[in-house]
């Protein structure tokens, strides 16, 4: 292990993506404890070094070989590609967190109602290449004002007529009197990898992706146990997706009933539990799953 090359992973040091990245990695046993001035975190797990950097530097880090892989918002990778940089980097896994969309937004009670009204106007954004590409494709002649933060303030302080920014819950837009008029793209956290990784590093990246997938699948799944009349078991498949072939166990002293164990890979909501009760299920247990393998 000592002479093996270390796997280098670029992560966002702080911001919307860093918490989810650290949470995912720690569920995969990396036990990372980021601290303010620590820019390099070392782990014995898979012989890995984590480089803590700005998220917009991550595609460049991977592309140039400063790191082997990196976790970043897909929107930043698209921006990087559209700015003409991408040579040696690709998306190797989708990580199902930090979902958001890149949207055009305008003053809610202003004159701009649709895309056509943007001609001749100024749009503030941190994603100039993605916006320029969209404007070109839609034949809209607008000016782009590049800002690296607080983009939603631009219309209020009179330096832009519209913005093109990331939206997650929509709260920030609402708080600043803005409304979305068009979604340019949907995004989530992705794992970027260099295309020419050595076979030794590739092996460890495959193991990492296996661990990520196990945790991601488990996140949305529940292990459900319940008691029910034997004759009602076929009804379960309409209520619990994944219940086509459930495990059933005899219940001592209750010959007409069984205990059912099933993993449901869909979200289980309160109305699912109510439906189970309505067909006579009892002793219902709904348990979170840590990891799902295979």
Q: Which stretch binds ligand AMP (CB under 6 A): 25-33, 156-164, 166-174, 228-236?
A: 166-174
Q: Which stretch binds ligand AMP (CB under 6 A): 80-88, 117-125, 163-171, 230-238?
A: 163-171
User: Does 170 contact ligand AMP by CB under 6 A?
Assistant: yes
Q: How far is the CB of 218 from ligand AMP (least distance, A)?
A: 22
When the beta carbons of 56 and 213 are compared against ligand AMP, the nearer one is: 56
Q: Which residue has the tokens 């309409």?
A: 238
Residues 97-126, interacting with ligand AMP (CB under 6 A)? 98, 100
Of the candidate residues 129, 132, 153, 167, the single one contacting ligand AMP (CB under 6 A):
167
Q: How far is the CB of 212 from ligand AMP (least distance, A)?
A: 17
Residues 68-97, interacting with ligand AMP (CB under 6 A)? 73
When the beta carbons of 45 and 188 are compared against ligand AMP, the nearer one is: 188
The residues of the shown chain that bind ligand AMP, judged by CB under 6 A, are 16-17, 73, 98, 100, 165-172
């Amino acid at each position: 292990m000592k002479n093996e090359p270390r796997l280098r992973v670029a992560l966002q040091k702080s911001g919307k993506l860093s918490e989810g990245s650290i949470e995912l990695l720690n569920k995969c046993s990396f036990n990372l404890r980021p601290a303010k001035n620590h820019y390099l975190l070392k782990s014995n797990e898979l012989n890995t070094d984590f480089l803590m950097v700005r998220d917009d530097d991550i595609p460049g880090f991977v592309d140039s070989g400063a790191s082997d892989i990196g976790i970043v918002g897909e929107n930043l990778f698209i921006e990087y590609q559209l700015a003409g940089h991408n040579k040696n980097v690709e998306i190797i896994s989708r990580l199902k967190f930090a979902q958001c969309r890149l949207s055009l937004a305008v003053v809610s009670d202003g004159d701009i109602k649709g895309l056509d009204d943007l001609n001749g106007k100024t749009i503030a954004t941190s994603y100039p290449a993605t916006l320029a590409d969209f404007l070109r494709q839609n034949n809209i002649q607008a000016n782009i004002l590049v800002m690296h933060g607080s983009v939603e303030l631009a219309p209020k302080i009179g330096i832009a007529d519209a913005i093109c920014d990331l939206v997650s819950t929509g709260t920030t837009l609402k708080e600043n009197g803005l409304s979305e008029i068009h979604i340019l793209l949907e995004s989530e956290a992705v794992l970027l990898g260099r295309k020419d990784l050595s076979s030794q590093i590739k092996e460890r990246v495959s193991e990492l992706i296996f661990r990520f997938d196990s945790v991601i699948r488990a996140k949305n799944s529940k292990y459900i146990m319940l008691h029910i009349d034997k004759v009602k078991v076929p009804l379960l498949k309409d209520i619990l997706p994944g219940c086509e072939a459930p495990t059933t166990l005899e219940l001592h002293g209750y010959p007409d009933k069984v205990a059912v164990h099933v993993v449901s890979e869909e979200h289980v909501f309160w109305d699912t539990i109510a439906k189970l009760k309505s067909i006579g299920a009892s002793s219902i247990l709904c348990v979170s799953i840590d990891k799902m393998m295979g």
